[in-house]
Amino acid sequence: MKAVMQKYKKMILIIIIVSLFGVIAYGNSPYQDTLKIYENETIDGDLIVAVNHATNEGNIKGDWITAGQQIRHLGMIGGDLIAAASQIFVDGNVRGNLRLVAREVIIGGGEINRNASIFASNVGLEEDTILDGSLHVYAGDLALRGFVGGDIIGGVGNAVISGTVKGNINLSVDKIYLEPGAYIEGNLTYISEEEQYIDTKLVKGNIEYQPTRTRSHLQRGLENIARRIRRVINLLQILFLISYIILGLFLIKFFKKPLNRATQLIDDQSGISVLLGLGFLFLVPIGAILLMVTIIGIPISILALALYGILVYLAKIPVALWLGKKIIRDESRYYTSFIVGNLLIATVSLIPYGGKLLSVGITALGMGSTLIVIKKYYNKEYDI
């Protein structure tokens, strides 16, 4: 399972990249509480929305890209379904791909014409589910009762299979069970600490067991703890990305003019913005620490560090908006531009070694442009 956890970030990167290059906006709607597309309703083109609870019973002709608490798809999607939520339920048709990140994913029926990539704690494909392509899955538990026309690749804790798989299965698992009624037409290859009992009648191809390296009970325990910690960290990273998008949409709604001016400064004074931002990033913490040597300086230092933290946290928002505008090339689509830019920044931050350095540069650029805007408002060079 160690190899499984190393693949989690790759899975997130795939989802983000697919989201980025598949984005075409539907409207300018920011975060909403609920969304329902009724049975007789049709959405021409793509639908991008951040929402608490979303249900689609109608027809989305393009992609549906969404984030929220609960996502339910019961109708038709002409493109891909790309979603991040606590719970995702699919019981409709998808002519494209599934790209899902959630705590729980249940595919209760319908037909998916291409591939599915799923990252979740629990994944279930029920009996009426038809997946024409392959399934790439990284989960705690997988229950497969439906039909998969391609391969199954990935890593899970416990895999229970009672459906049909036309292709090969290649999984890293703790436990794998093939129940009566299961049938695998290809080969079954599984990596596990212990060899599992597999009924050969249920597998048409070859069965191959690949053992993991021998470890002591202490090593297994420590690796299990580390694995759980990494799972929590990965989940928190996903939740952070979703919450940051939602926060950015709200700030754009209420502070559109200042953010737009910050993006203009990135165009006009990018060099100055980066230098100012780098100075702020590194000098403010040093100054705050030096202030703590005096009693009077302690509250000033705490206040400075609090404001510093807020500015660092928000610094990437104007850069994300600026990047999105360069990609979308439509000045009126603020919300879509921000989502696209934010996904691009998130993708860049996953690049080994260089990603962290680029992330610092992006933060400095956003920080510098924000400070210049604040100064211009203070000097009344900008009207409110």
pLDDT, average across residues 194-214: 87
Each residue of 307-325: pLDDT tens digit? Answer: 888 888 888 999 988 988 8
- How high does pLDDT run on average in the chain? 83
CB neighbourhood size of 179 (10 A): 14
Residues 6 or more apart whose CB falls under 8 angstroms from that of 291 comprise 297, 298, 300, 301, 304
The reported pLDDT for the residue numbered 218 is: 53
Q: Could you give the CA distance from residue 27 to residue 51 in angstroms, rounded to a whole number?
A: 14
pLDDT, average across residues 68-82: 92
Confidence band of 6 (pLDDT split at 50, 70, 90): very low
Confidence band of 178 (pLDDT split at 50, 70, 90): very high
The reported pLDDT for the residue numbered 162 is: 96
pLDDT, average across residues 162-167: 96
Domain ranges of the chain: 2-211, 255-378
Confidence band of 22 (pLDDT split at 50, 70, 90): very low
Q: Could you give the CA distance from residue 367 to residue 319 in angstroms, rounded to a whole number?
A: 9
Residues 6 or more apart whose CB falls under 8 angstroms from that of 247 comprise 317
Confidence band of 243 (pLDDT split at 50, 70, 90): confident
Residue 20 has pLDDT above 70, yes or no: no
Residues 6 or more apart whose CB falls under 8 angstroms from that of 375 comprise none
Confidence band of 200 (pLDDT split at 50, 70, 90): very high
Residue 255 has pLDDT above 70, yes or no: yes
Each residue of 90-115: pLDDT tens digit? Answer: 999 999 999 998 889 999 989 999 99
The reported pLDDT for the residue numbered 43 is: 94
pLDDT, average across residues 298-305: 85
The reported pLDDT for the residue numbered 221 is: 59
The reported pLDDT for the residue numbered 219 is: 57
Confidence band of 18 (pLDDT split at 50, 70, 90): very low
pLDDT, average across residues 239-253: 84
SS3 60: strand
| Total residues belonging to the chain | 384
pLDDT, average across residues 278-293: 85
The reported pLDDT for the residue numbered 10 is: 41
The reported pLDDT for the residue numbered 61 is: 94
The reported pLDDT for the residue numbered 384 is: 60
Residue 220 has pLDDT above 70, yes or no: no
Angle CA(94)–CA(70)–CA(232) in degrees, nearest 5?
105
pLDDT, average across residues 239-266: 85
